[in-house]
Structure 1
Amino acid sequence: MLKIGDFSKLSRISIRMLRHYDEIGLLVPERIDEFTGYRYYSEEQLLVANRINSLKDMGFSLSVISEILKTYNDSQALKEYLLLKQAELKELAEKTSRQLQILETTINRIGKEDNVMKYSVVLKEMPQRYVASLRKTIPSYDKEGMLWEQMMKEIASQKVQYANPCNSIAIFHDKEFKEHDPDVEIQISVQGSYQNTENVEFKNVPSELVASATFKGSYDQLIEVNQAVANWIRDNNYDFNGAMFIIYHVSPAQTQNPDELVTEVCFPVKKINSKKS
């Protein structure tokens, strides 16, 4: 039998932690002297201590380690635990790698561009949504309001219930800026079931990965915001993967003051495979 001090030295676990393990039932002493309260451990418990240390080094929490030890001799059960942790750590490593790359590219652009941190770009997953959609060619971009007026008029009789959040979106399907006759689709998130009208289609939109930047104020900033997002996509090894769209969080329909507008510019993206074949 080993006193707690000796067991601590051999197992490389502090006395304080051994007492904690005892309290939570993870590693209970073989015997506790009823008169002195001294804890004694068997030499065989060094194997358990080594397993605990090994599993901690892999990143398992004490509560999970406790579960693993119950089936440690079941090789299949142990393998499943390890595979789950491996997948978790790989995902974390990929996330950390992306964060480091974003930090590096942002640091490198500071001093070279004025809008590096003015417009913060984020990578996010746009969830699947059910929308009312209207797509048409309009005379010019500033005539987009025509589409919203037409949509509201055509769906009014169905008493459409809007989703929460109720994203109002404009999608620009042309591959380049057009001075005349741009192809524009508007969408508004809804809930329920409705009939298509002459120009409005109710449809599901799949989730998609986007790089986005949100800004407050007039639409005069759009060119600068687009540049900031495009630079981020280029610098962080992504590529464009669909039509650019805008989410109107606070739109002209809600305020006449351009300084109060809140707009999010989104570019669907995909990761570029940097591995050489």
Structure 2
Amino acid sequence: MLKIGDFSKLSRISIRMLRHYDEIGLLVPKSTDSFTSYRYYSEEQLYIANRITELKNMGFSLATIGEILKNYDNPMALAEYLSVKRAEVKAESEEVNRRLLLLDTAIERLRKDDKAMNYNVTIKTLQERYVASIRQIIPSYEQEGILWEMMMRETAGLNMQVADPSYGMAIFHDEGYKESDVDVEIQMSVKGSYENTDHVVFKVVPAVEFASAIFKGSYEQLTSVHRAVAKWIRDNGYEFNGAMFCIYHVSPAETQNPNELVTEVCYPVRKK
């Protein structure tokens, strides 16, 4: 039999931790002196102690280790635990690598341009939602208000309820920039169910992953914001995956002061 100090040295587990293992029933001493409360371990328990350390080093929690030890001599059960943990660690590793890439590209952008972080780009997912939508060819991008006025007019009698969160957005379906006759769709997230009108279509739109940057102020910044988002997409291993859109957090319908506008420029993306 080994005293706790000797067992600690041989197992390379601290006395404090051995006492904790005893308290939670993970590694209980072979015997405890009822008079002195000294703990004694058998040499065979060194094997269990080594298993615990090995599993801890793999990232298992003590609670999970306790479950594993019950089935440690069952190779199939053990393999299942290890496979699940491997998948978890792999996912964590991919997340760490993604963060490292974000840091590296941000550092590189700042080295090349000290104003590169004026527009912070992030990856987001817009969940599936029910929207009121109008898609039309309009004379120019600056005349998007035509569509919003049409939507308000045709839905005025529907008692339409805006969803929470509310997403008012414009999607630009043309492949590139056009001087005129632009293909624009506006969407407003709503709740409930409604019949289509002459121009308004109510539909469910799927979830979308996108890279975006939010800016405050006039639309004169749009070119710089587009450039920042597109460069971020290129530098971080993504590619474009759909029509670009803008989310209007504070729109011209809510303020006449261009300095108060809040707009999010969004590009659907996917990993290369």
Q: TM-score range by the shorter chain?
A: over 0.9
Question: RMSD of the TM alignment (CA)?
Answer: 1.4
1:248–1:264 CA contact under 8 A, matched in 2: yes
In structure 2, do the counterparts of structure 1 residues 114 and 179 end up closer, same or farther at CA, with 3 Å as the change threshold? farther
Name the counterpart of 2:148.
148
TM-score by length of structure 2 reads 0.95
Name the counterpart of 1:178.
178
Name the counterpart of 2:251.
251
> C-alpha separation between the residues in 2 aligned to 1:190 and 1:72?
54
Name the SS of the counterpart of 1:124 in structure 2.
strand
1:223-263 deviation per Cα after TM superposition (whole angstroms, max 9, x unaligned) = 10110000001111111111000111111222222222211
> C-alpha separation between the residues in 2 aligned to 1:103 and 1:265?
22
Deviation at 1:147, TM superposition (A): 0.6
Name the counterpart of 1:28.
28
Give ranges in structure 2 of 5+ residues lacking alignment: none
Does the alignment pair 1:233 with 2:233?
yes
1:29-85 deviation per Cα after TM superposition (whole angstroms, max 9, x unaligned) = 121111111111112221221111111111111122122222323333322222221
Q: For residues 95-110 of structure 1, what are the structure 2 equivalents within 5 Å?
A: 95-110=95-110
Letter in 2 for 1:218: S
> C-alpha separation between the residues in 1 aligned to 2:195 and 2:48?
65
> C-alpha separation between the residues in 2 aligned to 1:73 and 1:130?
53
> C-alpha separation between the residues in 2 aligned to 1:56 and 1:249?
47
Deviation at 1:166, TM superposition (A): 0.7
Name the counterpart of 2:192.
192
TM-score by length of structure 1 reads 0.94
Name the counterpart of 1:268.
268
Name the counterpart of 2:43.
43
Percent identity reads 64
Letter in 1 for 2:206: P
Letter in 1 for 2:145: G
Name the counterpart of 2:130.
130
Letter in 1 for 2:237: N
Deviation at 1:189, TM superposition (A): 0.9
1:90-146 deviation per Cα after TM superposition (whole angstroms, max 9, x unaligned) = 111111111111211111121322432111111122211111111011111111111
Name the SS of the counterpart of 1:248 in structure 2.
strand
Give ranges in structure 1 of 5+ residues lacking alignment: 273-277
Name the SS of the counterpart of 2:119 in structure 1.
coil
Moved over 3 A (4+): none
> C-alpha separation between the residues in 1 aligned to 2:240 and 2:115?
21
Deviation at 1:221, TM superposition (A): 0.9
> C-alpha separation between the residues in 2 aligned to 1:256 and 1:231?
31
Name the counterpart of 1:275.
none
> C-alpha separation between the residues in 2 aligned to 1:175 and 1:157?
35
> C-alpha separation between the residues in 2 aligned to 1:118 and 1:72?
54
Once the two structures are overlaid, the 10-residue window that deviates more, 247-256 or 232-241, is 247-256
> C-alpha separation between the residues in 2 aligned to 1:178 and 1:132?
25
1:135–1:185 CA contact under 8 A, matched in 2: yes
Letter in 2 for 1:236: N
Name the SS of the counterpart of 2:118 in structure 1.
coil
Once the two structures are overlaid, the 10-residue window that deviates more, 106-115 or 91-100, is 106-115
1:115–1:228 CA contact under 8 A, matched in 2: no
